[in-house]
């Protein structure tokens, strides 16, 4: 497999050297170049993706359409097209830089992102999207205003980059400068149509536009953790082009602190990737036997 490198820079974006992508993200990540892409369809919806559980940074959380790192000795002029083809299987059209000098730093679960990260906007044909399951666990199309609401109401479900890269406007960024009112321009008017079915996620909620399994309409605030024995229900799911297995732990209280701590503990014990959602814990691979042992050791009732 070809090794991927990132370009290390100073605060003025002057190149200092390079480092292996697989080794650069840790608790003291050096400043480096990156880029981020927001993709829209002609109805004005934006593509969001749930990052694969095996990703080193923000596994299993939702994020914007596509992110990556430019090759050495190249500025962020066209690398998003190459990354979009590799990660999403589609060709972006009419790309332009919405935030050319964006700089951000974020930390989660002891891993730091520290980047000079220009943000680009482009249009794409939804029918062309064919994500690489090693990069993308699932994806969905969502109206821009709904996305802003999600970022504000449930920030814990989203990557720090996606939350901070939004413009803050209730309008979506246009598809290209100087082309207001064009069919591809998401600023022309908020779309009124709702996606009801996605080939990637099946049926979607007509109210929020998300796949039914990730519907946010019935989301609740943190539930208290009851005293006594908890009940965990295990099931195996497969998704993506490669049909990768994920063991899902369901039936637990919807308590973010509990679920995140459990996900961190089980990932280490199983030696694999995983994440916590609003209502479940997901661990990469078929590790049901190991999870039965670990959860039973806590005195929990384990089913499935």
Are the CB atoms for 236 and 245 separated by under 8 Å?
A: yes
Largest distance between two CA atoms of the chain: 63
**Does the annotation mark 23 as catalytic?**
no
Mention every residue, 6+ apart, whose C-beta is less than 8 A from residue 295.
232, 249, 302
Write down the catalytic residue from 87, 113, 115, 123: 115
Eight-state DSSP code of residue 16:
E
**Does the annotation mark 67 as catalytic?**
yes
Are the CB atoms for 204 and 216 separated by under 8 Å?
A: no
Nearest to 98 by CA among 167, 29, 42: 167
Q: What SS3 state is found at 204?
A: strand
Looking only at the bridges linking them, the beta strands covering 93-99 and 103-108 are: unpaired
Mention every residue, 6+ apart, whose C-beta is less than 8 A from residue 152.
none
Q: Rg for the chain (alpha carbons), in Å?
A: 20
Q: Classify 88 in phi/psi space as left (phi over 0), alpha (psi -120 to 50) or beta.
A: alpha
Q: What SS3 state is found at 128?
A: helix
Write down the catalytic residue from 66, 67, 84, 205: 67
Looking only at the bridges linking them, the beta strands covering 244-250 and 281-284 are: antiparallel
Eight-state DSSP code of residue 286:
S
Q: What are the catalytic residues?
A: 67, 115
């Amino acid at each position: 497999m070809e090794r991927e490198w990132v370009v290390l820079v100073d605060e003025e974006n002057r190149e200092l050297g390079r480092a292996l992508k697989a080794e650069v993200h840790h608790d003291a990540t050096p400043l480096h170049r990156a880029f981020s892409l927001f993709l829209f369809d002609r109805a004005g919806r934006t593509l969001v993706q749930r990052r694969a559980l095996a990703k080193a940074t923000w596994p299993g959380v939702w994020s914007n359409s596509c992110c990556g790192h430019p090759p050495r000795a190249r500025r962020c002029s066209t690398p998003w097209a190459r990354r979009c083809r590799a990660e999403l299987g589609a060709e972006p059209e009419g790309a332009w830089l919405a935030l050319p000098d964006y700089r951000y730093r974020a930390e989660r679960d002891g891993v730091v992102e520290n980047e000079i990260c220009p943000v680009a906007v482009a249009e794409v044909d939804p029918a062309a999207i064919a994500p690489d399951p090693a990069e993308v666990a699932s994806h969905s199309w969502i109206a821009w205003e709904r996305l802003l609401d999600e970022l504000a109401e449930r920030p814990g479900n989203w990557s720090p980059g996606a939350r901070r890269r939004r413009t803050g406007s209730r309008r979506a960024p246009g598809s290209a400068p100087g082309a207001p009112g064009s069919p591809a321009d998401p600023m022309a008017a908020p779309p009124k149509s709702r996606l009801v079915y996605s080939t990637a996620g099946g049926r979607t909620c007509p109210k929020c536009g998300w796949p039914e399994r990730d519907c946010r309409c019935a989301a609740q605030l943190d539930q208290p953790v009851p005293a006594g024995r908890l009940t965990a229900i295990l099931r195996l799911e497969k998704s993506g082009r490669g049909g990768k297995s994920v063991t899902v732990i369901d039936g637990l209280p919807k308590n973010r602190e509990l679920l995140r701590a459990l996900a961190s503990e089980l990932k280490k014990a199983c030696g694999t990737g995983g994440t916590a959602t609003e209502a479940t814990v997901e661990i990469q691979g078929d590790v049901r036997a190991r999870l039965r042992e670990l959860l039973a050791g806590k005195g929990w009732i384990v089913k499935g």
